[in-house]
Amino acid sequence: MTKSEAVSWYRIQEMFRFQSFHMYGIIGTAILLGVLAVYLIKKLRIKDIYGAPIPFEAKTKSYPRYIIGGSIFGLGWALTGACPGPMFVNLGNGYPAMALVILGALCGTYLYGAIKNKLPH
């Protein structure tokens, strides 16, 4: 992630300001590889390491939760300049301020777990 500059705050800000294709290329490549992998797993009926089939369950179509959750995630990403993977990579690269970002993400995850049953899903 470091070599591709996917953990760079500047690259992430360029993406959110629509000034560079760099991050969109990385994310787009990941999406294409994911789609291809799921297609091949389904088509070839690939099994997991224990020999059991890999199930794919259809997601419920509840757009408000995706829009609200995605917006909160995107705002956090834009404000901190890091999504979950790069947070840990940046901490490992010697940016101690990322510990606060990780703490904030953990607190947000805990809060979601605490109020999950009260939210419209």
Alpha helices by DSSP H, listed for 1-121, are 9-16, 22-44, 63-80, 84-92, 98-115
Q: pLDDT by residue (tens digit) across 2-36?
A: 888 878 877 888 888 898 888 889 889 999 999 99
Helix (H, G, I), strand (E, B) or coil at 58: coil
Q: Residue 56 is which amino acid?
A: F
pTM of the model: 0.64
Q: From 17, 22, 20, select the one nearest 4 (Cα to Cα).
A: 22
- According to DSSP, the residues that pair with 47 across neighbouring strands are 53
